[in-house]
């Protein structure tokens, strides 16, 4: 096990902002552990952090002798070890509960997932304490009609409310929708349709930017998929002063995958087609208007295919995980970088578990990074890495 050390400095803010610190942070990454879950048949996982440990939300079946998938919660410490037992979060029902998306709000976790217990697939929501104790009952968020498809939801916390975004075909076309929930999960108003176009709008991601919820999504209105931006106000209404902004203008398919907020700008992560069916991973800053700014960074060279990047900001840099081809294996890759242009010289590739490692989600604390991903039809894996970035003058 590689130990990690936190900063001990009389002027910690100056140290965090120094080039020396950033260089140390980029250079030094060590693997702590890679563990494999015992939860069988997961579809997808998500991860959040409360500042003291990570929380893994997964959908799995038969963990507690259930016949359908339910949502489960697992605590993982900064050394990659499980804390306590895995607990079921969703209410048991005959319909599968799947694809959890989670966020920490400063006092508890909030998780949203897809569930068809009433027939049509809907989004449900609940809160969970740091200890894994469920707070309240499952709350139905959406009002989808029978036959509509609901997918690819994300959740964000504003400091006082939750914003949830998803794609939905209830009006006959794949569009982006938004719902606002108060701090207890009570829905404010009705489902809000964000996009109004005959093109396909899908794969939305969301972040709170201090004044509103920024939503980036993929949209085919240019003829091929490109990235668009829309903004929702804190009251849940659409910011019409921004409108729908074309973020990219590519002649090839370009799909947004994740988004982080660094305190002043968004950092997008997307994958872009460079040859038929082959993709490379890219990231760039974006203003609160949605327009790209600064240099676009490409990860993974164009000799293989890379997709599904996940990104997180820890206060001074980014952790990035993606699905890439390494040799004959599809593996989960990891790297980190800063807004100043520094990129870690070492790309870390987690040892492949199966022929189809997929759906990585990354979470970054100060000096510890945790990535969770699906490895097959019978497990998920958790990879934990850490830094040593002590001030030599402290």
Q: Domain map of the chain by residue range?
A: 12-386
Whether the pLDDT of residue 356 is over 80: the answer is no
Model pLDDT, residue 24: 54
Write the pLDDT tens digit of every residue in 9-61: 333 334 344 555 455 555 555 666 677 665 555 668 999 999 999 999 998 76
Strand order in the sheet with 318-326: 306-313, 318-326, 329-337, 348-349
Cα–Cα distance measured from residue 383 to residue 351, given in angstroms and rounded to the nearest whole number: 10
Dig out the tokens for 141 from the structure.
């968020």
Model pLDDT, residue 392: 35
Going 109 to 192 to 311 to 106, the CA torsion angle's sign is negative
Instruction: Tell me the average pLDDT across 240-249.
Output: 93
Model pLDDT, residue 44: 82
Whether the pLDDT of residue 90 is over 60: the answer is yes
Does 357 or 195 have the greater pLDDT score?
Answer: 195
Does 111 or 69 have the greater pLDDT score?
Answer: 111
Range 309-322 burial, b when 16+ CB lie within 10 A, else e: bbbbbbebbbbbbb
Query: 323: which strand partners?
Result: 307, 332
Q: Are 22 and 338 in contact (CB under 8 A)?
A: yes
Whether the pLDDT of residue 4 is over 50: the answer is no
Instruction: Tell me the average pLDDT across 86-105.
Output: 90
Class of the CATH-defined domain 12-386 = mainly beta
pLDDT-wise least confident of 105-119, 357-371, 376-390:
376-390
Instruction: Tell me the average pLDDT across 286-306.
Output: 87
Tokens 């060279």 sit at which residue?
A: 301
Whether the pLDDT of residue 201 is over 50: the answer is yes
Coil, helix or strand at residue 96 = coil
């Amino acid at each position: 096990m590689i130990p990690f050390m936190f900063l001990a400095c009389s002027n910690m803010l100056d140290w965090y902002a120094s080039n020396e610190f950033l260089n140390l942070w980029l250079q030094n990454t060590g693997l702590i552990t890679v563990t494999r879950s015992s939860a069988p048949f997961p579809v997808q996982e998500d991860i959040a952090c409360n500042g003291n440990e990570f929380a893994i939300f997964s959908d799995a079946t038969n963990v507690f002798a259930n016949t359908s998938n339910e949502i489960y919660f697992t605590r993982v410490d900064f050394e990659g070890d499980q804390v306590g037992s895995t607990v079921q979060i969703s209410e048991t029902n005959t319909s599968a509960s799947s694809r959890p998306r989670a966020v920490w709000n400063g006092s508890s976790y909030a998780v949203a997932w897809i569930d068809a217990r009433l027939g049509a697939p809907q989004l449900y929501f609940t809160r969970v304490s740091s200890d894994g104790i469920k707070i309240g009952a499952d709350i139905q968020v959406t009002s989808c009609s029978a036959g509509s498809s609901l997918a690819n939801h994300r959740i964000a916390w504003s400091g006082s409310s939750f914003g949830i975004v998803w794609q939905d075909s209830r009006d006959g076309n794949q569009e982006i929708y938004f719902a606002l929930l108060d701090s207890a999960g009570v829905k404010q108003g009705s489902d809000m349709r964000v996009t109004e176009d005959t093109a396909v709008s899908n794969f939305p991601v969301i972040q709170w930017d201090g004044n509103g919820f920024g939503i980036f999504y993929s949209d085919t209105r240019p003829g091929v998929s490109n990235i668009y931006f829309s903004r929702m106000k804190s009251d849940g209404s659409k910011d019409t002063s921004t409108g729908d902004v074309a973020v990219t203008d590519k002649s090839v398919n370009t799909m947004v995958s994740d988004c982080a907020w660094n305190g002043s700008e968004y950092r997008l992560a997307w994958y872009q087609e460079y040859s038929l069916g082959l993709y490379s991973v890219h990231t760039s800053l974006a203003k609160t208007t949605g327009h790209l700014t600064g240099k676009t960074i490409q990860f993974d060279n164009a000799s293989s295919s890379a997709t599904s990047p996940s990104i997180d900001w820890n206060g001074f840099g980014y952790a990035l995980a993606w699905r890439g081809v390494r040799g004959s294996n599809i593996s989960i890759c990891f790297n980190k970088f800063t807004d100043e242009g520094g990129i870690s010289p070492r790309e870390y590739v987690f040892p492949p578990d199966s022929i189809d490692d997929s759906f990585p989600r990354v979470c970054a604390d100060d000096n510890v990074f945790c990535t969770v991903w699906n490895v097959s039809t019978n497990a998920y894996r958790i990879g934990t890495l850490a830094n040593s970035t002590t001030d030599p003058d402290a």
